[in-house]
Amino acid sequence: MIVSFKNDDPVYENWCKSYPNGFVLNRTSLTNKKTDNNKIHLSNCSHLTRSNGQGQQTKTIPKVCSINLSELIEEAHLLCGESWNMCQTCKKKIEK
Ligand SMILES: [Zn+2]
């Protein structure tokens, strides 16, 4: 199941806690037109919390989440076309 979070940090944080092995599409390109840097991370990736403060994570950058990676990849294609990739750090963890 795909779930989207926008300006709803408490619910997003709950989701991440419930699914530490879930996946998060970080839709960076919606706020920064210069980048096509939408990235899929594991929900516990430190990159997701790095740029935004506590309580601000879904305020500027909407998140699209799923516990199923192939489902989220399909959704990324629908939403972003080719403008997304896997976080390199998370990719290594997934491949292990
Ligand atoms: Zn990551």
Tokens of residue 59, six digits: 């305020």
Exposure on the CB side of residue 78, measured as CA atoms within 13 A: 9
For position 48, what pLDDT does the model report? 87
Q: How would you list the strands of the sheet with 38-42, edge to edge?
A: 3-5, 63-66, 23-26, 38-42, 84-86
Q: How far is the CA of 14 from the centre of ligand 1 (A)?
A: 18
Tens digit of each residue's pLDDT, the chain (96 residues): 999 999 999 999 999 999 999 999 999 877 666 666 799 999 999 888 765 566 678 888 899 999 999 999 999 999 999 899 999 999 999 888
Q: How far is the CA of 86 from the centre of ligand 1 (A)?
A: 8
- Count how many domains the chain has: 1
Domain that holds residue 70: 3-95
Tokens of residue 50, six digits: 């790095």
Q: How far is the CA of 88 from the centre of ligand 1 (A)?
A: 7
Q: How far is the CA of 82 from the centre of ligand 1 (A)?
A: 18
| Torsion angle of C-alpha atoms 83, 33, 5, 16, degrees rounded to 10 | 60
Q: How far is the CA of 80 from the centre of ligand 1 (A)?
A: 18
